[in-house]
């Protein structure tokens, strides 16, 4: 989906239609399988897989009309040395700069939107992107937007400098915890419901009897 929505903006504005986006699905999927053959084993029914992807594409077009604007940056790499011992970087799905100079950061999600009360946690990723962009350019993004294609909902935020400072403090606390663990070679497990999806469960002390 990310590749399709990325490549859709290679088309002239008037050609950014739902059908043209859907037509990209088979070729973009084949290209990814050719690059990583192990992906093919994750799909047991190609038709169901592409039908699901088609539904996500159709939902995207209910959230915005790509014929009406230009995507300034796609898969934009942001990076910054926060301290001598901390390097942070990430790739933004899309960053739009309006003629007036206002910036919005967009992230596509193929799942469903968070439950009420969890939106702020979901926005943390985009606040980190906004922090990186602000530190590099001196421009505070006007809008952060998560697009949930699983249920057609948007989560938006108008960040303030205080929001970015809070995100920075959170990042530094996490970095300091990691550096302390590295220094002591101490990695205490924190069991949760997410353990069942963790790749390292089979070697985690919390699950080894």
> Could you report the per-residue pLDDT of 180-202, keeping only the tens digit for each?
999 999 988 889 999 999 999 98
Q: 10 and 106 share a domain? A: no
Q: 18 and 82 share a domain? A: no
> Could you report the per-residue pLDDT of 102-153, keeping only the tens digit for each?
999 999 999 999 999 999 999 999 999 999 999 999 999 999 999 999 999 9
Q: 140 and 80 share a domain? A: yes
Choose the final residue of a domain: 22, 52, 67. Answer: 67
CA separation for the pair 94, 43 (Å, rounded): 27
| pTM score | 0.88
- Which tokens in the block code for residue 137? 């350019």
Q: Which domain holds residue 38?
A: 2-67
> Could you report the per-residue pLDDT of 36-69, keeping only the tens digit for each?
999 888 888 889 999 999 999 999 999 999 999 9
Domain count, the chain: 2
Q: 55 and 11 share a domain? A: yes
Residue 97, strand partner residues: 103
Q: 87 and 175 share a domain? A: yes
Listed residue (194, 186, 192, 131) closest to 157, CA to CA:
131
Choose the final residue of a domain: 67, 97, 118. Answer: 67
Is residue 174 situated within a structural domain?
yes
Contact 80, 135 (CB under 8 A): yes
CA separation for the pair 74, 5 (Å, rounded): 9
């Amino acid at each position: 989906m990310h590749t399709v929505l990325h490549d859709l903006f290679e088309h002239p504005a008037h050609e950014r239609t739902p059908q043209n986006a859907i037509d990209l699905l088979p070729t973009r999927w084949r290209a990814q399988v050719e690059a990583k053959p192990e992906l093919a084993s994750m799909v047991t029914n190609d038709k169901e897989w592409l039908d699901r992807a088609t539904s996500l594409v159709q939902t995207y077009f209910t959230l915005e009309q790509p014929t009406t604007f230009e995507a300034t940056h796609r898969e934009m790499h942001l990076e910054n040395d926060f301290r001598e011992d901390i390097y942070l970087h990430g790739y933004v799905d899309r960053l739009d700069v309006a003629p007036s100079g206002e910036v919005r950061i967009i992230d596509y999600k193929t799942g469903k939107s968070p439950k009420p009360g969890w939106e702020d946690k979901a926005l943390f990723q985009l606040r980190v992107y906004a922090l990186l962009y602000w530190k590099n350019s001196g421009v505070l993004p006007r809008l952060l937007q998560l697009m949930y294609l699983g249920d057609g909902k948007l989560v938006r935020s108008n960040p303030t400098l205080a929001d970015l400072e809070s995100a920075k403090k959170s990042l530094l606390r996490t970095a300091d915890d990691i550096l302390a663990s590295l220094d002591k070679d101490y990695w205490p497990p924190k069991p949760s419901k997410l353990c069942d999806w963790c790749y390292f469960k089979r070697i985690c002390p919390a699950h080894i009897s």
